[in-house]
């Protein structure tokens, strides 16, 4: 076996082993089904076993008025993604969108509802989770409660919004952003989950991207189970713009089609062929 072929073989083996390690390590993207940390939604994915949509266009044909899609994002997405979300809602069913202020406000602007959201944090010193006023307990119209950290709230007087969950009457708007109640700051019940009707369906907006992440999903399991109980199909949206980088998108795409399970076998076969090729040179 020639020296050059040995070197090439080891380089090939090193590259292939590196690819296996890279594609089989958990992702770090917020709201990723392969992120097993606090900001991922791997538990949600395992819990419901839904489909993964890496391209919203590919699920449009099979979309029905009983389909539910879930999107978790801590950043604004592309205009194309927001247009496709609206198109899906037009056909019926529901898109559940848990996002931060920037992501939700951009979406609302795209659908012509610029004034539907207020960028001020809600705290509740009385009705909260574990004595933490940031962890607001909201009561929903579905008959269940959910725990969230609302960094904004929805305009209760907007004609195109339907309230779905409100904070308690003891919550307050932190207008000066100091994290405490100050005299003059509004006290009352605020809309923290709202529904926009679009065509035959709607988009359910949740004012905290963390409600369904691994850290908090069990607190909100009953709420999620309730709003998806009549769904014929559940889809988790994992578009490239919702993830941190292209590597994470590649990992999810391979996972979606089951390629990640076959990858070690494929790579082992390539190595065997490489060894055979190298020995042929003897």
How large a percentage of the chain has pLDDT more than 90? 63
Which pLDDT belongs to residue 247? 81
pTM, entire model: 0.85
Between 26 and 62, whose confidence is greater?
62
Place of tokens 């209760």: 156
Q: Categorise residue 60: left if φ over 0, alpha if ψ from -120 to 50, beta otherwise.
A: alpha
pLDDT tens digits for range 68-126: 999 999 999 999 999 999 999 999 999 999 999 999 999 999 999 988 999 999 999 99
Which pLDDT belongs to residue 123? 96
Question: What's the chain's average pLDDT?
Answer: 87
Whether 4 has a pLDDT exceeding 90, the answer reads: no
E-strand stretches of the chain: 51-53, 67-73, 94-99, 117-118, 122-123, 128-129, 132-140, 145-148, 153-154, 161-166, 172-173, 191-198, 201-206, 233-237
- Closest by CA to 60, choosing from 87, 29, 28, is 87
pLDDT tens digits for range 122-157: 999 999 998 899 999 998 988 899 999 999 999 988
What is the mean predicted confidence (pLDDT) over 211-225?
94
Structure tokens, 253: 């795409």
Whether 5 has a pLDDT exceeding 80, the answer reads: no
- Closest by CA to 259, choosing from 54, 44, 31, is 54
């Amino acid at each position: 076996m020639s020296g050059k072929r040995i070197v090439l073989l080891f380089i090939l083996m090193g590259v292939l082993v590196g690819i296996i390690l890279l594609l089989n390590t958990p992702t770090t993207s917020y709201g990723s089904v392969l992120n097993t940390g606090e900001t991922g939604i791997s538990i949600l994915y395992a819990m419901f076993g839904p489909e993964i949509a890496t391209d919203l266009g590919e699920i449009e044909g099979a979309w029905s008025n009983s389909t539910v899609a879930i999107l978790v994002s801590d950043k604004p997405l592309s205009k194309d993604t927001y247009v496709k979300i609206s198109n899906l809602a037009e056909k019926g069913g529901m898109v559940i969108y848990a996002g931060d202020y920037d992501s939700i406000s951009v979406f609302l602007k795209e659908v012509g509802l610029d004034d539907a959201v207020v960028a001020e944090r809600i705290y509740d010193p009385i009705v909260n989770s574990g004595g933490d006023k940031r962890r607001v307990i909201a009561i929903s119209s579905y008959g269940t409660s959910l725990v969230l950290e609302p960094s904004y709230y929805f305009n209760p007087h907007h004609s195109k919004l339907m309230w779905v969950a409100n904070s308690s009457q003891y919550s307050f708007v932190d207008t000066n952003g100091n994290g405490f109640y100050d005299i003059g700051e509004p006290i009352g019940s605020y809309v923290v989950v709202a529904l926009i009707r679009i065509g035959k369906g709607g988009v359910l907006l949740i004012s905290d991207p963390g409600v369904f992440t691994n850290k908090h999903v069990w607190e909100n399991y009953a709420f999620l189970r309730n709003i998806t109980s009549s769904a014929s199909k559940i889809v988790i949206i994992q578009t490239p713009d919702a993830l941190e980088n292209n590597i994470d998108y590649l990992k999810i795409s391979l996972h979606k089609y089951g390629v990640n399970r076959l990858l070690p076998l494929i790579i082992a076969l390539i190595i065997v062929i490489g060894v055979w090729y190298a020995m042929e040179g003897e």
